[in-house]
Structure 1
Amino acid sequence: MDDLDGLGGSGQEKWCSGQRGIEIDARRPFICHDPIKAAGKKSFLRRKPSASDARVVEMSLTDKSYKQFGAVAARQKALDEFVFGEFGVRELIEFAKRLPALRHRLETPA
């Protein structure tokens, strides 16, 4: 159980790799248990025991969750176009470069 993902890790880290889902080592507590449980109850997450190791639970997103992500992505794109639509790439890069200085000015007492 040392290298669940085959990527040479120690097995201590928890990982998510998109379509392959998330594998959780049942011997150690997983920090996101409550959100995962809630996502499962709302049919956003599919859980099934691993065929190769009974201590592992494989999780994957359901079609419902992919549709929800699609709707959110479309709204985010519309919002981005509304807020940043008149800016080109260069203007956005320049804006991003100036944000740390602005933050410093706002956090520093006058």
Structure 2
Amino acid sequence: MILTALADLDREDGAPVNVVSKLMHVDASFVTTQSKLLEKKGLLRRRSSTSDARVVQLSLTDKTYKLLTTIATKLEALDEFVFGEFGIPGSLELVSKLAAVRHRLESACLKVALEF
């Protein structure tokens, strides 16, 4: 999730830890801890901000950009394989109907639980 957030946020100087944590709805300490692990694996860089040394800027490495490109290509192929015959409108309709079924099942489970 951190890598995906950074792919959206990363600019020339990277993105501050607190911005990534807000986007992910998690505590900044979680992003700090996990980003250190990702840095050790060579997936992102951590640098102090040039304007404020207390702020840590995160940015993706070239290795990560290549991995994300590979994953995106594979996901597109998978989507085409799974949903290709439906097209975009049909896929949206299917997802909508599945969400409605899920909601009805949750309501039914709640009713059954209340009866006991």
Among all aligned residue pairs of Structure 1 and Structure 2, give the percentage whose two residues are the same amino acid: 44
Which blocks of at least 5 consecutive residues in structure 2 are unaligned? Answer: 19-26
CA contact (8 A) 2:42 2:61 kept: yes
Cα distance, 1:23 vs structure 2:
1.6
Cα gap change, 1:32/1:90 in structure 2, threshold over 3 Å: closer, same or farther?
same
Q: Which residue of 2 aligns with 1:92?
A: 91
* Structure with higher helix content: 2
Please give the root-mean-square deviation of Cα atoms over the aligned residues, in Å: 2.4
Q: Which residue of 2 aligns with 1:106?
A: 105
Q: How many Å separate the matches in 1 of 2:15 and 2:66? A: 20
Q: Which residue of 1 aligns with 2:75?
A: 76
**Paired residues, number:** 94
2:22 aligned with 1:22, yes or no? no
Q: How many Å separate the matches in 1 of 2:55 and 2:103? A: 46
Cα distance, 1:100 vs structure 2:
2.5
Within a 5 Å distance, the mapping from 1:35-74 to structure 2 comes to 35-74=34-73
Deviations 1:24-72 (A, max 9, x none): 46xx953322221111000111122222211112221000010111111
For the residue of structure 1 that corresponds to 2:47, the secondary structure is strand
TM-score (norm 1): 0.71
